[in-house]
Structure 1
């Protein structure tokens, strides 16, 4: 009896419908999850993936059933980010034409030098974490989410670097671009976050790295910087950075959506995953809180117009707790 020929998209035939563009370009791109690498099983790369991916703390019967709620693909991503990048281009060009920088208070300029421009250092760490998730994820559906998140983080770093050079050209005596690394490595406000980023970078289990970064550290930091530091910018008449940070926050919200979806999926696939997620959040939460609280002086001492940090921190905790509840996790 003749063997039926495989049809186009036969790998998706179980769906019993025409696959979407998203599924066609995303489905099962990782040949090595089933077949393994074509090397000695004891080769370092094979052992690494076996330990930190195949034997990871989170387990599911089929990770390829996960779907990004935004069904993001490269075409959609570049179109979306082209619009957002155009917005920032226009924002910065118009601000330069209006000479908005001449209206900034000198104390606020120093605050930007301490808080805003050094962020490209942890931002690059965030990009590395997302890239590691993309490298180690057990499904291309998950890998692509991480890849786009890495792109978001790199976009943020590049824009902050561009703005750093602008600020340096306006205010050469403040050390924009030249003092940033020293501030990142030594200023007390940054040290708890630096500790968190460095510890995250040596969490090699892909699933624990995902939980610690996407469900704990990143939400705390994004709410602190992209929402509440933006509020502080608004109070100090720095509307350029209000708009820029708000633009970055749109990326953060999209990443929260797939993070929630993947967490829910992991729990549905294997209820035992809930305890792993809960324990990992509890392990990293104190460090994320420390990293957030360290910035109290920025809000209450460094800026000309202050913002009560207790209410800021309470709001951040509330927002992050809502994120966990939405993902099906109670802490």
Structure 2
């Protein structure tokens, strides 16, 4: 009589990290999933050996204990499903387009033909904006470092690179304007404009406050849901329209290309906010509280920059119009988040 052999457990499949799934993970998921080493389940023994170290306490306080909570952050997906490879390819094409514009207008000597009012707009609004953009870059990098999932770490990392690309373009144009109009203040006076010009101080205050919003959820809300949608409407959409009206087609084209990066950040940020609402309806009160805190700060920044567009001797627009336009754009973006989230699904999920 033979003895029955114990049944062997089936070995894990290659993609067992995804749980019991019935489909092959995408390339995007394979290279992105569970790559955040700072999450507790993936953390090295350093956390257990020294849980009270400053870095571990920082993660515990400003991420793990954030009011913005979801049971499974790894369920989030970037709507564009970007990987490093696809991002580099995408931005290589974008750089080809912007490089072509810069070369074409430089060969035509376009900067020498700009009106005095447009030169003033560029040196008061466009060239000093690199200081604000560098602050935005720092906040995005912080979000990527502190994010509770690698799906957010990657998107925030790409947004950080977008900010650096934009800073680089502004710096390049600053040098071109400095050569074409040496007495206009491009380059030499930009820091003074950023630090002391009355119109820039609300925006400077806004980004400096965002830099000390240590809770990752509040930092995400402050920059990606409130400040960036508001200020990009002023510094990209409205700036390019005024530039076009004043005959500066180069600024219109470059700003149009940069809007593609801004739109991509808005897509994944909106998707992430909706994700938090659908998976935990209580997050709505958390997000609305932060939005209410940061919206007046963003409006003040838009109003301040609006005074610079208002002072154009040619075709400008009123500061009130600038502020209201930026606010309307932000509210449209936020409305899409709260009305588009399937909160009922989240309630059903939470009840199971």
Which of the five TM-score ranges fits, normalised by the shorter chain?
over 0.9
Q: Structure 2 length as normaliser, TM-score?
A: 0.91
2:59 is equivalent to residue 43 of structure 1: no
- Distance in 1 between residues matched to 2:38 and 2:188, nearest whole Å: 44
- State how 1:150-189 maps to structure 2 within 5 Å: 150-189=160-199
- Distance in 1 between residues matched to 2:118 and 2:196, nearest whole Å: 20
- Distance in 2 between residues matched to 1:32 and 1:325, nearest whole Å: 33
* Unaligned 5+ runs, structure 1: none
Displacement of 1:98:
1.0
Which whole-Å deviations, capped at 9, do the CAs of 1:123-176 have from their partners, x for residues lacking one? 000000000000000000011110011011110000000111111111111221
C-alpha contact 1:58 1:207 (8 A) present in aligned 2: yes
Displacement of 1:2:
3.4
Q: Structure 1 length as normaliser, TM-score?
A: 0.96
- Distance in 2 between residues matched to 1:32 and 1:185, nearest whole Å: 36
Alignment-derived partner of residue 8 in structure 2: 2
2:44 is equivalent to residue 34 of structure 1: no
Deviates further, 261-270 or 171-180: 171-180
- Distance in 2 between residues matched to 1:176 and 1:68, nearest whole Å: 38
- Distance in 2 between residues matched to 1:162 and 1:102, nearest whole Å: 16
Moved over 6 A (4+): none
- Distance in 2 between residues matched to 1:6 and 1:71, nearest whole Å: 26
- Distance in 2 between residues matched to 1:314 and 1:191, nearest whole Å: 19
Alignment-derived partner of residue 124 in structure 1: 134
Displacement of 1:304:
2.5
Displacement of 1:38:
2.8
C-alpha contact 2:79 2:267 (8 A) present in aligned 1: yes
Displacement of 1:34:
2.9
* Unaligned 5+ runs, structure 2: 1-6, 341-352
Match of 1:270 among 269, 280, 300: 280
State the Cα RMSD in Å. 1.4
- Distance in 2 between residues matched to 1:305 and 1:322, nearest whole Å: 26
- Distance in 1 between residues matched to 2:117 and 2:233, nearest whole Å: 24
Q: Give the number of the structure whose alpha-carbon radius of gyration is greater.
A: 2
Number of corresponding residues = 330
